[in-house]
Amino acid sequence: MRERRPIALLRLAVAYEIGMWRSLYRWLLRRPPTREPGAEAFGYVGVVQPILLAFIVLSAIEIPIFDLILRHTLPWPSVRKVVLALGVWGLLWMVGLLASLRIHPHVAEAAGLRVRNGSSVEFHVPWAAVASVGGRYRSLTSGRSVQVENDESGTILNVGVGRQTSVDLVLREPFSVRLPNGPSEPVTQIRLYADDPSALVARVRQHLPTPAC
């Protein structure tokens, strides 16, 4: 088990990195993933976009300044080039992260809701599995995008952005979804973040077999 866990973590890290660079490529070339006709997208990047943009701008300013300082203080050009390369990689990494959040929104399709968080989290919730839906802003205890908690109602899967969620999906029965590290334990609720929770709630309610409470 001790040997398998590092390998599994390495695979997740590699998959995340590949997904991020692929997202950057698609974003720059304006080639978002295709969606079926009639599907509606719901973004969730608004809460973190100002922070990411601030980091991107600061990094873009910092790289040439830091390179100028190293040019006059370090006698080893190879070291300066490595530092410069790392700075550029970090800048592109943040742009890629923003791209992955923008081009992989939640999508309401004919068969159900596709819940996403960047390129690493994506699972499908059939409409028949949803008992009710409501909008409510909730704070999360950590900054992890995927968190599981338990309360008197059962097991809750949080797919948050910026330490919060804004839409609650109550399921008809415990339901397991596919996560980056494997299937989740059966959950009774799925809470996710959307920039416009009212619009997403209204769209989900159109597909519920009975009126939501």
Tell me the domain boundaries of the chain: 129-205
pLDDT at 22: 83
pTM, entire model: 0.84
Residue 159, pLDDT score? 96
How distant is the alpha carbon of residue 3 from its chain centre? Answer: 28
Lookup: tokens for 210: 């009975």
pLDDT for the residue numbered 73: 83
Q: Using CA atoms, how far apart are residues 18 and 96, in angstroms rounded to an integer?
A: 10
Structure tokens at 158: 């949080």
- What pLDDT tens digit does each residue of the chain (213 aa) get? 344 567 766 777 777 777 878 888 888 887 777 778 889 999 999 999 999 999 999 999 988 888 888 888 877 888 888 888 999 998 999 999 999 999 999 999 999 999 999 888 999 999 999 999 999 999 998 888 899 998 888 899 999 999 999 999 999 999 999 888 888 899 999 999 999 999 999 999 999 875 544
Report whether 180 contacts 12 (CB < 8 A): yes
pLDDT for the residue numbered 5: 67
